[in-house]
């Protein structure tokens, strides 16, 4: 065995990851670069400078409600992941694997299960699972590269695109959506539960596990090299009940949190069963809030968890507005229409999924929202599908391939996950690009040839 102090030369995969980390700017810098490129394109297409500026300003604040919804998703999900019951479950699972392959496979399945249920929960579970599983692996003398495992688990979270919280499929399954006059109401059985979507999910997870096992660096960077990341292992301190004031005792009493939980459960009952409404972002956040109250058991523990979790939401609070400004340039100038029109003009039934996924990737870079992307791209995607003779749901599913491709190839979400994991996002960004390529190839193949 080599001495612990000896520096091993990096392999080709590690060198690639380091190279990408050196050349990719942070998310704020990337948003400014994208803005300059889109503004230049808008001017070249004949849009007056004043219109371009107005489009940016209109976009800059058009996601205010959505930004708060996304902030709540991240903060409440992060708070939920710190609940004693959740941490105990992840800790128990982390002790099951006995080989490197089992560490990767079980970690992928745990994250994928969370992602399929709720995308926001998956984003915070990625670093939590990576840290707990890496710590257990290191204790069992298994060589696990922490940044690489983080990238593998982040890739596994992609299954949310065809899960229960997929924004665009939920939107078109809801009566009264903005495209109902053109495409009608499309049930989830024809989108996220179609044969193509189900096969895609299964194949991608299997390939992710296989690639993770094959490409994991033999002597990588264990968790012990990342002391800040190890702080995720620390449980929240329990306060003493002695010497507390009357108000502090009330905050630590479970009765009030149970009463509020009953109110939230009642609202969810009326939302889903009495009013027969579909799943939406507000219902998801209400569910998250309910689970937090039940698992933290009192307001004192819950507010403490939220206070610690707010740090992980800074990227959404700031960057969504910058990306929204870029989205405004696309939406309120001729840039978006020209891009979509060009794509629609050159599609055929065979090339439609590939081109739709490619255009979806471009749009996803500028629009940090699956639902927002469908709002911008949905009309053209639907009309192009009808024009070339394929189903609208095939277009939506192919667009979702591009949506996640954008998530896997831009720094935004990497920064968010890195903030929770307390690691420089450049340490695992390069690895993530490899799984992005796998996602794109599998997705395009599935939605080109399989029924949906």
pLDDT digits (tens, 9 = 90+) for 114-163: 999 888 788 888 999 999 999 999 999 999 999 999 999 999 999 999 99
CA torsion through residues 7, 12, 17, 21, sign: positive
Query: How many other CB atoms are there within 10 angstroms of residue 209's CB atom?
Result: 20
Distance CA 448, CA 440 (A): 12
Distance CA 307, CA 102 (A): 35
Reference 404, options 119, 71, 63, 106; nearest CA is 119
CB 42 within 8 A of CB 333: yes
Q: Quote the tokens at residue 408.
A: 């896997």
Distance CA 341, CA 336 (A): 8
- pLDDT band of residue 237 (cuts 50, 70, 90) is low
Q: Quote the tokens at residue 130.
A: 């990576």
Reference 105, options 97, 116, 113, 114; nearest CA is 97
Work out the angle between the directed axes of helices 352-366 and 314-332 (0-180°, nearest 10).
Answer: 120
CB 378 within 8 A of CB 168: yes
pLDDT above 60 for 239: no
Q: Quote the tokens at residue 299.
A: 């307001």
If you average pLDDT over every residue of the chain, what do you get? 85
Kindly report the pTM of this predicted structure: 0.78
CA 249 from centre of chain: 38
Question: Residue ranges of the alpha helices (H) in 118-253?
Answer: 119-139, 146-156, 167-172, 180-183, 195-215, 227-230, 246-251
Q: Lowest-confidence range among 7-11, 42-46, 164-168, 243-247?
A: 7-11
CA 101 from centre of chain: 24
pLDDT above 70 for 441: yes
Reference 105, options 220, 206, 242; nearest CA is 206
CB 330 within 8 A of CB 103: no
Q: How far is CA 83 from CA 122, 125, 263, 283, 290, in A?
A: 15, 12, 21, 21, 13
Model confidence pLDDT, tens digit, residues 29-69:
777 887 898 899 999 999 999 999 999 998 888 778 777 87
Distance CA 10, CA 430 (A): 14
Q: Which residues contact 87 (CB under 8 A, 6 or more apart)?
A: 81, 128, 132, 235
Angle at 204 between CA 202 and CA 210, to 5 degrees: 105
Sorted by where each begins, the domain ranges of the chain are 31-233+252-268+278-449
Predicted confidence at residue 46, as pLDDT, reads: 93
């Amino acid at each position: 065995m080599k001495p612990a102090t000896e520096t091993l030369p990096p392999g080709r995969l590690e060198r690639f990851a380091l190279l990408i980390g050196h050349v990719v700017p942070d998310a704020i810098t990337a948003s400014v670069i994208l803005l300059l490129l889109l503004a230049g394109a808008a001017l070249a297409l004949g849009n007056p400078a004043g219109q371009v500026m107005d489009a940016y300003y209109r976009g800059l604040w058009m996601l205010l409600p959505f930004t708060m919804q996304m902030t709540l998703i991240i903060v409440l999900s992060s708070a939920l992941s710190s609940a004693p019951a959740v941490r105990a479950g992840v800790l128990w699972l982390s002790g099951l694997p006995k080989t490197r392959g089992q560490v990767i496979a079980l970690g992928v399945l745990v994250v994928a299960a969370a992602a399929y249920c709720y995308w926001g929960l998956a984003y915070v579970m990625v670093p939590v699972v990576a840290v707990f599983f890496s710590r257990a692996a290191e204790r069992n003398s298994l060589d696990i590269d922490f940044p690489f495992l983080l990238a593998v688990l982040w890739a596994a979270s992609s299954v949310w695109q065809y899960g229960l919280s997929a924004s665009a499929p939920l939107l078109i399954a809801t009566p009264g959506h903005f495209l109902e006059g053109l495409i009608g109401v499309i049930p989830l059985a024809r989108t996220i539960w179609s044969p193509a979507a189900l096969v895609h999910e299964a194949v991608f997870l299997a390939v992710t596990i296989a690639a993770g096992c094959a490409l994991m660096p033999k002597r990588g960077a264990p968790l012990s090299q990342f002391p800040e990341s190890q702080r995720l292992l620390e449980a929240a301190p329990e306060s003493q009940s002695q010497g507390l004031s009357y108000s502090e005792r009330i905050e630590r009493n479970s009765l009030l949190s149970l009463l509020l939980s009953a109110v939230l459960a009642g609202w969810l009952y009326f939302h889903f069963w009495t009013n027969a409404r579909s799943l939406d972002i507000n219902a998801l956040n209400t569910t998250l809030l309910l689970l937090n109250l039940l698992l933290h058991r009192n307001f004192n523990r819950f507010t403490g968890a939220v206070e610690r979790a707010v740090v992980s939401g800074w990227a959404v609070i700031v960057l969504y507005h910058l990306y929204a400004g870029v989205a405004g340039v696309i939406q309120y100038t001729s840039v978006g229409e020209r891009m979509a029109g060009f794509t629609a003009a050159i599609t055929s039934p065979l090339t439609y999924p590939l081109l739709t996924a490619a255009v979806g990737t471009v749009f996803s870079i500028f629009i940090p929202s699956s639902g927002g992307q469908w709002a911008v791209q949905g009309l053209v995607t639907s009309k192009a599908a009808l024009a070339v003779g394929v189903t609208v749901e095939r277009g939506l599913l192919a667009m979702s391939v591009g949506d996640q491709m954008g998530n896997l190839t831009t720094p935004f979400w990497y920064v968010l996950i890195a903030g929770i994991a307390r690691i420089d996002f450049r340490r695992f960004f390069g690895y993530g690009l490899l799984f992005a390529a796998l996602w794109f190839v599998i997705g395009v193949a599935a939605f080109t040839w399989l029924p949906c």
